[in-house]
Structure 1
Amino acid sequence: MSTYLIPVDFSKTADHAAKYAARLSWAMNDAKLILLNAYYVSEYESILPTPDLIVTTDEHIADEITRRKDALEKLKGKLLEINPNADIEISLTRETILRSIIDRVNVEPVDLIIIGSNGKKAKEESDIGSNAIKVSKASPVPVLVVPPKADYQSIRKAILACDFKKVQEVIPMQALKNILSKHAIELLVLNINSGNQVDADEEHFLYDMLKDFSPTYHYAEHPDTIKGIVKFAKAEEAQLIIALPKKYSFFENLLHQSVSQKLTIKSHIPVLLLKD
């Protein structure tokens, strides 16, 4: 069984990612979905009034917990309409969303965290969506970021983007194997060449490292790395971009919000963030 953890905050962004996860679980036949909502009230909130002069009392907290549980059940019902056979668990925690995600991953095997990307409305939509990259940085398991306009498609072709440099340090092979072994995916390895010479030894090492996946190798030149990747993925009609947010990688600055948001905003397909 594959287990997908879906943090939700009842925004359109999070609902879209949850529905994507339900369709993915339908394709997998045997998957568990965990809808996770975090309701954290700091000590100061229980003492000091809000800007609306409302104090967060125990009664208010109890009412909010009930409201959130009802909302989780409602969302669960929507997902069961997509996949009636899905095993769906709802979970409401009283910690911050990041702590809640890490705690859950530490006590239960989770294969994938699925988070919606806000796109251009990062400050207007989901707090989870605007912090997707922070979650991926802290998460010990892969994170799938679903752009707001990404509809579910069977994953048949994936783009693995790297700069062919220090590949031994860059590619998390075990995480990559875990993903590719469960799906019949055509892997395309892409190098966007910004004018730098590709080291022959590194190139040969990469070929040997990935030989079990029988990938095809592609080279392209584009002054904007993100646009180059997105353009290539669109031309190839890929259903997934695999990014490697690690030091020395093609995405060594991916965890900087400005760059990461570019990728998830401009990408028309989901982006999988892999780490060891």
Structure 2
Amino acid sequence: MSTYLVPVDFSKTAEHAAKYAARLSYAMANSKIILLNAYYVSEYESILPTPDMVITTEEHIADEISRRNKALEKLKLKLLEINADADIEISLTRQTILRSIIDRINREKIDLIIIGSNGKKAKEESDIGSNAIKISKSSPVPVLVVPPKAHYESIRKAVLACDFKKVKEVIPMQALKNILSKHSLNLQVLNIDAGHKVNSEEEHFLHDMLKDFSPTYHYSSHPDTIKGIVKFAKSEGAQLIIALPKKYSFFESLLHESVSQKLTIKSHVPVLLLKD
């Protein structure tokens, strides 16, 4: 069974990601969706009044928990309209969202975290979308970031972007195999550092590591790396971009919020942050 963890805060962004997960579960047999909402009240909130002079009492907390559980049930019903046979669990925790995600991962096998990305023109910004990069930094499992305009398509072609440097340290082979073994993908490997001389030894290592997936290799000389990746993915008709945010990799910079937000906002397809 594939289990998808979808953190939600009842924003349009989070609902969009949840609907993507429902469509993915429809395409993937024997899968489960966990809708996770975190309601954390700090010690200070229970002592000090809010700016409008309201103190968070136990009664207020109980009412808010009831409201959130009803909202989770409502969202679950929306997802069941997409996939009537979906196995959907709702979960409300009293910890921070990051702690809630890590605790859930520690308790059971989670295959993928699906998060919505806030767009530049988002009318309603999601707190979870704003923290997508922080979550991807801490998560030991892959994180799929779904841009605002990205809609589910059967994943037939994926772009794996890397800089052909220290490939043995950079390519998370086990995580990559886990993804590729579940999808019959046409893998396009894009060298995003083609303006520099390619190390033939590193290139040989990469070809040898990925030979079981029969990828095709391409080279980008676009002056803007992010635009180059997005333009290539669009020209190839890819349904997924795979990024490798790991030490020594160019994509280590994807864990810097400004760069990764550019990629997830400008990309027309979901971006998979893949780590070992």
Short-chain TM bin: over 0.9
Report the TM-score when normalising by structure 1.
0.98
Q: Assess if the C-alpha contact under 8 Å between 1:147 and 1:264 holds in 2.
A: yes
Residue number in structure 2 paired with 1:242:
242
Residue number in structure 2 paired with 1:171:
171
Q: Assess if the C-alpha contact under 8 Å between 1:161 and 1:250 holds in 2.
A: no
> What does 1:150-161 align with in structure 2 at a 5 Å threshold?
150-161=150-161
User: 1:101-150 CA distances to partner (integer Å, 9 max, x unpaired)?
Assistant: 00000001000000000021579510000000110110000000000000
Going from structure 1 to structure 2, the CA distance change for 1:66 and 1:9 (only over 3 Å counts) comes to: same
The code of the aligned residue for 1:57 comes to T
1:108 is the counterpart of 2:108: yes
The number of residue pairs the alignment matches comes to 276
Q: Assess if the C-alpha contact under 8 Å between 1:253 and 1:259 holds in 2.
A: yes
User: 1:40-80 CA distances to partner (integer Å, 9 max, x unpaired)?
Assistant: 00000000000111000000000000000000000000000
> What does 1:128-139 align with in structure 2 at a 5 Å threshold?
128-139=128-139
What is the deviation of 1:195? 2.1
User: 1:158-179 CA distances to partner (integer Å, 9 max, x unpaired)?
Assistant: 0000000100010100000000
Q: Which stretch shifts more, 116-125 or 4-13?
A: 116-125
Residue number in structure 1 paired with 2:93:
93
Residue number in structure 2 paired with 1:233:
233
Report the TM-score when normalising by structure 2.
0.98
Secondary structure of the corresponding residue to residue 19 of structure 1 = helix
Structure 1: 5+ residue runs without aligned partners? none
Q: Assess if the C-alpha contact under 8 Å between 2:2 and 2:30 holds in 1.
A: yes
Instruction: Tell me, in whole angstroms, the C-alpha distance in 2 between the residues paired with 1:194 and 1:209.
Output: 20
Q: Which stretch shifts more, 248-257 or 80-89?
A: 248-257
Q: Assess if the C-alpha contact under 8 Å between 1:193 and 1:220 holds in 2.
A: yes
Secondary structure of the corresponding residue to residue 175 of structure 1 = helix
**Runs of at least 4 residues off by over 3 Å:** 121-124
RMSD: 1.0
Structure 2: 5+ residue runs without aligned partners? none
Q: Assess if the C-alpha contact under 8 Å between 1:153 and 1:239 holds in 2.
A: yes
Instruction: Tell me, in whole angstroms, the C-alpha distance in 2 between the residues paired with 1:35 and 1:195.
Output: 44
Instruction: Tell me, in whole angstroms, the C-alpha distance in 2 between the residues paired with 1:130 and 1:197.
Output: 37
1:188 is the counterpart of 2:201: no
> What does 1:135-150 align with in structure 2 at a 5 Å threshold?
135-150=135-150
Instruction: Tell me, in whole angstroms, the C-alpha distance in 1 between the residues paired with 2:60 and 2:47.
Output: 13
The code of the aligned residue for 2:258 comes to S
Residue number in structure 1 paired with 2:264:
264
Residue number in structure 1 paired with 2:220:
220
Secondary structure of the corresponding residue to residue 120 of structure 2 = helix
Residue number in structure 2 paired with 1:80:
80
Secondary structure of the corresponding residue to residue 254 of structure 2 = coil
Q: Assess if the C-alpha contact under 8 Å between 1:122 and 1:129 holds in 2.
A: no
Q: Identity of paired residues, percent?
A: 83
The code of the aligned residue for 1:189 comes to V
Instruction: Tell me, in whole angstroms, the C-alpha distance in 1 between the residues paired with 2:118 and 2:240.
Output: 18
Instruction: Tell me, in whole angstroms, the C-alpha distance in 2 between the residues paired with 1:195 and 1:123.
Output: 39
The code of the aligned residue for 1:230 comes to V
What is the deviation of 1:90? 0.1
User: 1:23-44 CA distances to partner (integer Å, 9 max, x unpaired)?
Assistant: 0000002110000000000000
Instruction: Tell me, in whole angstroms, the C-alpha distance in 1 between the residues paired with 2:10 and 2:124.
Output: 13
Secondary structure of the corresponding residue to residue 251 of structure 1 = helix
Secondary structure of the corresponding residue to residue 92 of structure 2 = strand
Instruction: Tell me, in whole angstroms, the C-alpha distance in 1 between the residues paired with 2:228 and 2:21.
Output: 27
Going from structure 1 to structure 2, the CA distance change for 1:65 and 1:124 (only over 3 Å counts) comes to: same
